[in-house]
Structure 1
Amino acid sequence: MPTPARDARVYDAVIVGGGHNGLVAAAYLARAGRRVLLLERLDRTGGAAVSTYAFDGVDARLSRYSYLVSLLPKKVVRDLDLPFAVRKRDVSSYTPVSRGGRDTGLLVTGQAARTREGFRELTGSDREFASWQEFYARTARVAERVFPSLTEPLPTRAELRERVDDEAAWRMLFEEPVGTAIEEHFHDDLVRGIVLTDALIGTFADAHDASLRQNRCFLYHVVGGGTGDWDVPVGGMGALTDALADTARAAGADLRTGHEVLHIDTDGTRAEVTHRTPEGTEATVTARHVLVNAAPRALAELLGETPPDPPAEGAQLKVNMLLKRLPRLRDSAVDPRLAFAGTFHVAEGYAQLAAAYAEASAGRLPGSPPSEIYCHSLTDPSVLGPDLAAAGCQTLTLFGLHTPARLFAADNEAARDTLLKSTLAQLDAYLGEPLADCLATDAQGRPCIEAKTPLDLERDLGLPGGNIFHRDLSFPYAQEGTGRWGVETGHANVLLCGAGAVRGGGVSGIPGHNAAMAVLGR
């Protein structure tokens, strides 16, 4: 076997993986005057935070894998002078339901009076709305106090508890299964389900799971930005990673795509990183620090160490669509442009979520798969070409819940097709016309729809088991072995800068920022 070519330069940092966190770390370090090399396996940077022309001959730039922004701190955007913006959604959510033989639903907006009326029409009283206001006022106070800590050195559990300064909130988010708080606060099954969904995005768990993995997922969904708002990236998610790549390059970082890292050797002071070039040859570079924007399991393999236990598997279906028009709703009282402007919940009542979890736990695809849908083009039409926008076309992205990777292991393609069919059937149950009649077609006359299972995400992006968080999320406080910033590993000069770090997950840039701060602090 030929000896890998050796680069004579010594880099201050080699970053493995060009997803958004790797790009954040590269930009911070290069702007601080460090010599930085970033190596990305794919032929582009951005990882899961990319925008793509997903359909042949169709001028629509879709956020293909990750959709909304909440956890990205304004501090990162300011520090790096990023030309990037988000837009707020006027509607929070719409959840259709059939009650008493009548098609209706719950529309939650930023207008309290209108939302109160919606709760009253659904439940017959103001009790659920009052509980809703109280519950989310409490999570908002937690968000204000916890979110700023995510870009600071890790607090201890006691320090974070003191910072939260609300024992009831601490108990419901950090100590008891979130299902307990949901059932204490709310009585209506549909309302309970709407609240629970934030605990299940990419997380396969029951509302009362003793592991509290659902609590950790819920916490990260309600603290983002210090408000819990989930906003639409202007220009699509790729606008963020393109801006990060441009900023890193302008500061002097060397970003190389098509370079797959094969091995990392380190003595704790210097490291050698061996990678395969686009030409198929091997090369080795030397660095004082290595920052790995990949899962902890992938890092162990690169170091030649025993991988940790397999991570919790991914449990989501991702579907991208382009429509000729938004479909009519069976609930004729709600304009589709309002219903789809926020998060459109499908089969996400509390009992429905529990039934889907039970079926998947038993090894079966859910018969009534729950999902939620976002129409980004209503908030940001710039993702559509002028002709598509003029014609009234809209994008739809669907995120399905409770579909763990194990259900696709025997035959991924067949299971994908079955799940997609039943997921769209659930949506059609609330529509006044079949969704298939609204789908646009590509240059070959094919419907503009694509679906990705956890195994597809593992293949396309290297996500272990399709887990969008790389492993179970962690509470944002220090535990044994987590280190000062939550990015440290068993090697002094090797750091995690991806979603598998403490305070990782989502499109946040937080692990990238924290890994860069750990390097600069040395």
Structure 2
Amino acid sequence: MPHHDAYDVVIVGGGHNGLVAAAYLARAGRSVLVLERLGRTGGAAVSTRPFAGVDARLSRYSYLVSLLPRRIVDDLGLRFAVRKRAVSSYTPAVRDGRPTGLLVDTAGGGRTREAFARLTGSEREFAAWQRFYGMTQRVAERVFPTLTEPLPTREALRARIGDDRAWEALFERPVGEAIEAAFEDDLVRGVVLTDALIGTFAHAHDPSLRQNRCLLYHVIGGGTGDWDVPVGGMGALTDALADAARAAGARIETGREVTAIATDGTAAEVSYAGDAGEGVAAARYVLVGAAPRELARLLGEQPPTPPAEGAQLKVNMLLRRLPRLRDPRTDPREAFSGTFHIAEGYGALEDAYRQAAAGELPHRPPSEIYCHSLTDPSILGPELAAQGYQTLTLFGLHTPARLFTADHDATRAALLEATLAQLDAHLAEPLTECLATDADGRPCIEAKSPLDLERELRLPGGNIFHRDLAFPYAQEGAGRWGVETRHPNVLLCGAGAVRGGGVSGIPGHNAAMAVLERAEV
């Protein structure tokens, strides 16, 4: 087989984390080769024009930014920005036979207080909301800076948080206990619980605490828990990262599928194939952005215990206009600019979990929607923007991969229909009447199941986190940075690392730091 010149580091996968690692290492003077299976970089953090002949560039898979440290943007000199949403969330409801809803302003304060009072008839839930999220913000301020440092011990992280009640609620006991103790209203409880279930198939009292770990990563992002809109779409971030890596001297090759990794712990060879033929790249270190299960396959090793399966429905849409709401007091432009919760009351979420766990599609599928183009219209062509077109992104919960194995296409279609019916229950007109059409006259809507994500992105079981999320402290086998494997010169740099998951760049940063602090390179 032909050989490339030897590199200091070969990176398997050109997703955002692999590109972060490549940029840091190349800027530090290391020779770096990035091998990406697909014909473009970006992985799950990409923007595409999914609808034929329509000038709308949607964030196809990942779509909001929370965990990306400003430090990475500044260190790498990225030309990339995020924009804060004016509304945090809107949750429609029916009370006393009348349509209403809970609108949470990003800034909190008077409008949010009034919305809580109108929904619940008292001040109690708003006060509880402030206490709960005041607690999570204090945790966020203390935990977020540790994510780009060597892993703290469990005891050190607990001491850094310095709040035993918060530690107990988030790290020790099923989060359902804290939610039920803090809130009385079923709808408010559900809004809080949703952040524990994004891409995570669990229930509020799951003894594994899988839901706690998911909630933690959602509330600590940026030290604030804000989920911001990437200006220009998610592809703007990965394009900026690829530019930074190349400018620093990294070599990026797309259309190169890695087929095997061989290592003796001090030197490695990475075999790959592509349209131009096969090749082998020699390296001192190999950083892998793929899932741990995929890494085991490449090494010819026994795969780890199968990860928790993915459990989400991802739907992208383009609308000619936003639909009108049944709640006449709420402007659709506000409701859809934040996270629009659908069928996500606390009891409804638990019902949907039980039905899916029993092998049924949820009878009332829970989901949430947001409109990127309200906050950042640059993803739309000028004509579409002038005509009032808008994008919608829907993320469905409690739809584990196992539900799709028997008849994938029919199951996905049935789930999409049921999910949109739950949304229509809160609209003054069917959503389908607002959908744009593509150049061939087809509605501008596409749905992705967990099995679609497995096929397209090699996510095991469609798991967007590659495997179960881990608490951000040192555990047995985690290593100093949370990226180490049993091979000293093979490191994880993707979502499967400790402190992985989400669009963060943190695993890429940490893998690069693990290499740079070793004197051998």
TM-score range, shorter chain: over 0.9
Corresponding position of 2:421: 425
- 1:320-399 matches, cutoff 5 A: 320-399=316-395
Corresponding position of 1:155: 152
Q: Which amino acid aligns with 1:514?
A: N
Corresponding position of 2:34: 38
Corresponding position of 1:267: 264
Is 1:132 the counterpart of 2:132 in the alignment? no
**Structure 2 SS opposite 1:311:** coil
- 1:117-196 matches, cutoff 5 A: 117-196=114-193
**Structure 1 SS opposite 2:280:** strand
Is 1:277 the counterpart of 2:274 in the alignment? yes
State the identity as a percent.
Answer: 76
Corresponding position of 1:314: 310
Corresponding position of 1:500: 496
Q: Distance in 1 between matches of 2:281 and 2:351?
A: 52
Corresponding position of 1:294: 290
Corresponding position of 2:253: 256
Q: Distance in 2 between matches of 1:283 and 1:94?
A: 52
Is 1:66 the counterpart of 2:62 in the alignment? yes
Q: Distance in 1 between matches of 2:63 and 2:132?
A: 26
Q: Which runs of 5+ in 2 are unaligned?
A: none
Q: Distance in 2 between matches of 1:338 and 1:143?
A: 27
Is 1:206 the counterpart of 2:203 in the alignment? yes
**Structure 1 SS opposite 2:246:** helix
Q: Distance in 2 between matches of 1:487 and 1:278?
A: 31
Is 1:479 the counterpart of 2:475 in the alignment? yes
Corresponding position of 2:443: 447
Q: Distance in 2 between matches of 1:395 and 1:360?
A: 29
Picking from 91, 109, 113, the partner of 1:112 is 109
More displaced stretch, 93-102 vs 469-478: 93-102
Is 1:219 the counterpart of 2:216 in the alignment? yes
Runs of 4+ in 1 over 4 A off after TM superposition: none
Q: Which amino acid aligns with 1:258?
A: G
Alpha-carbon distance, 1:411 to partner: 1.1
Alpha-carbon distance, 1:10 to partner: 1.4
Corresponding position of 1:514: 510
Alpha-carbon distance, 1:469 to partner: 0.1
Corresponding position of 2:91: 95
Q: Distance in 2 between matches of 1:62 and 1:234?
A: 11
Per-residue CA deviations over 1:330-386 (Å, capped at 9, x if unaligned) read 001101011111000000000000000000000001010000001010000000000
Q: Which amino acid aligns with 2:243?
A: D
Per-residue CA deviations over 1:56-113 (Å, capped at 9, x if unaligned) read 0000000000010000000000000000000000100000011211101000002411
Q: Distance in 1 between matches of 2:386 and 2:111?
A: 31
Corresponding position of 2:459: 463
Q: Which amino acid aligns with 1:209?
A: D
Per-residue CA deviations over 1:176-195 (Å, capped at 9, x if unaligned) read 00000000000000000000
Q: Which amino acid aligns with 2:458?
A: G
Alpha-carbon distance, 1:257 to partner: 0.2
Per-residue CA deviations over 1:220-277 (Å, capped at 9, x if unaligned) read 0000000000000000000000000001001110000000000000010000110002
Q: Which amino acid aligns with 2:348?
A: Q
**Structure 1 SS opposite 2:80:** coil
Corresponding position of 2:21: 25
Q: Which amino acid aligns with 1:390?
A: A
Q: Which runs of 5+ in 1 are unaligned?
A: none
**Structure 2 SS opposite 1:285:** strand
Q: Distance in 2 between matches of 1:303 and 1:445?
A: 47
**Structure 1 SS opposite 2:412:** helix
Q: Distance in 1 between matches of 2:285 and 2:476?
A: 23
Q: Distance in 1 between matches of 2:313 and 2:44?
A: 14
**Structure 2 SS opposite 1:6:** coil
- Give TM-score, length-normalised by structure 2: 0.99
**Structure 1 SS opposite 2:195:** helix
